[in-house]
Amino acid sequence: MEEDYSDLFEKDFTITSPNRTVDMTITGKLVGIDPDIGITIVDKNDRDHYIYCLRSGLTLGPKGKGNKKFYADMFEVLVQGIRAGEIKREDVQDIELSHNFMLSGGKASPETCAFN
């Protein structure tokens, strides 16, 4: 049976230091979530400001091979963060460093996100 994530759309959560160069905290808004497709999170106060985009088809490892373990680990960290009320940049970085891979391969945008 597939997990129900519908409760996460109403959940209030903060994101600490989503930017690698600026120390800040913002309020996040879940735009879309599907374990087979991805997760899209935006700034609650500016829906055009994409914060995290996890997209199953774009989580590619070396030589373009899919990185399913990275995707699964990052999906779990983001869901746990939303449920806990805070996504910590350190938790995201730990996953990126352990897999030697960066979320979205760079800047989050409507083009790189699974949902908009």
Share of the chain above pLDDT 70, in %: 81
63: pLDDT strictly greater than 50: no
pLDDT score at 40: 93
Per residue in 22-59, pLDDT tens?
668 899 999 999 998 899 999 999 999 888 888 886 55
- What's the CA gap between 97 and 95, in Å, rounded? 5
What residue segments make up the domains of the chain, in order of their start?
6-105
CB 16 within 8 A of CB 86: yes
Structure tokens at 19: 């930017």
Type and span of the H or E element at 54: strand 46-55
Predicted TM-score (pTM) of the model is 0.83
CB 87 within 8 A of CB 54: no
Most confident of 62-66, 75-79, 93-97: 75-79
